[in-house]
Amino acid sequence: MATYKGTIGILTGGGDVPGLNPAIRAVTIRAIREGYKVIGIRRGWQGLIDVVRDKKYDNSANFIELSEEVVNKAGRTGGTFLHTSRTRPSHVPKSEVPSHLKEKYNQDTNDLTPEVLKNLEFMGIDHLIPIGGDDTLSYGVRLFQEGVKVIAIPKTMDNDVPGTDYCIGFSTCVTRTINMINTLRTSAGSHERIMVVEVFGRYAGFTAMLPTMAGAANRCVIPEYKFNVERLTELLCEDRVKNPSRYSVVLVSEGATFEGMESMVFKDSEKDMYGHAKLGGIGEILSRKIKEVSPKFNKGQKVDLITQNLGYLVRGGDPDSIDSIVPMAYGNLALDLILKKFHGRLVVLRNGRYDNAPIDVVTSYKKLVDVEKYYHTDRLRPKYQNFQQQPLFFMTGE
């Protein structure tokens, strides 16, 4: 048994993706074998603000000591067995402040960072590994600035964390998208329709671009470019006529907008602690618009549509091979950095090579599709050129 070296805390924040449990497993097994104790913090940052600093209090809903047995069982599955939330400890609404802290924190918005720091000390955590997107990791940047030894792991379906070519969950999302569109093709072809498929992507269009490049769709529209509905309809009608099965497919990022729209389409006005309202519905709106203008490009006849929002179907279930291998490597990279006494780092993939970067890269800029380089704005689809020396998911490179 290795000599005890300290305690590592690990948490998952934001949306669930396949690959989180393999990352938790990788960190835990390596850490235990190197002589560390591992604490799994439940429900992301929420678990850290809910802790009651009393040894007699039952905090099992907030954190748990992890063992090889526990993580081996979970490591082959999707989602996160530690659970997750979109909590932002620096911006907690009055209604969300834990009951035991309500007297002390009673403003409309409250910064509970002092409590988080005390809770980490109470739990005996020497190193903290948050796994999440730029929202979750932006608070990791704050904690590092406060003196916490943080090593971050990037995760998001949209693959939009700056500083890395790859985020856990992206490959499974692309794989699921391709498979599900192929399933839906039989209906689209049987009824000779245009199919509109809505996918994730608030600000970045990678989840629409990559499946389209792989042949899953004829066209795609992305948040980075405000498109013209008539032009899209013209192209889809052309695609439909050319197809022997008389159908065509467009992939639509949830954050995409067309000319005449003032903003993205939101399901409701309620916002999370990071200021994001839930997106969803652009697919339905676009379908109605396409049907409305389709006679102009179909000899005066309206074209019927199939509309499908893939939503949580692409983030549920087991991870694919890439989202099993990369989390394993990221977890071990995090341990390598801790053993070398490096902190304030983000583990990354760049041009096919594992590496690390300063953690504050996650707040330094927005990672978006380079429209001029990769997107054909007239044809409304990716450009198929200049692949030499590009990384695996080439448009995601820095």
Residues with catalytic annotation? Answer: 158
CB of 101 closer than 8 Å to CB of 152: no
96, amino acid identity: E
Amino acid at position 273, single letter: M
How far the first Cα of the chain sits from its last, in Å, is: 42
The packing angle between helices 322-339 and 170-191, to 10°, is 160
148-187 burial code (b ≥16 CB/10 A, e <16): bbbbbbbbbbbbbbbbbbbbbbbbbbbbbbbebbeebbee
Which residue in 54, 36, 44 sits closest to 14, CA to CA? 44
How far apart (Å, rounded) are the C-alpha atoms in residues 139 and 88? 7
Q: Rounded distance, CA 114 to CA 181, Å?
A: 48
How far does Cα 155 stand from its chain's mean position?
A: 5
Locate tokens 């599955």: which residue?
Answer: 77
Gap between the Cα atoms of 284 and 292, Å rounded: 12
Q: Could you identify the residue written with the tokens 């834990």?
A: 98
**What separation in angstroms does the CA of 140 have from each of 130, 236, 239?**
7, 44, 46
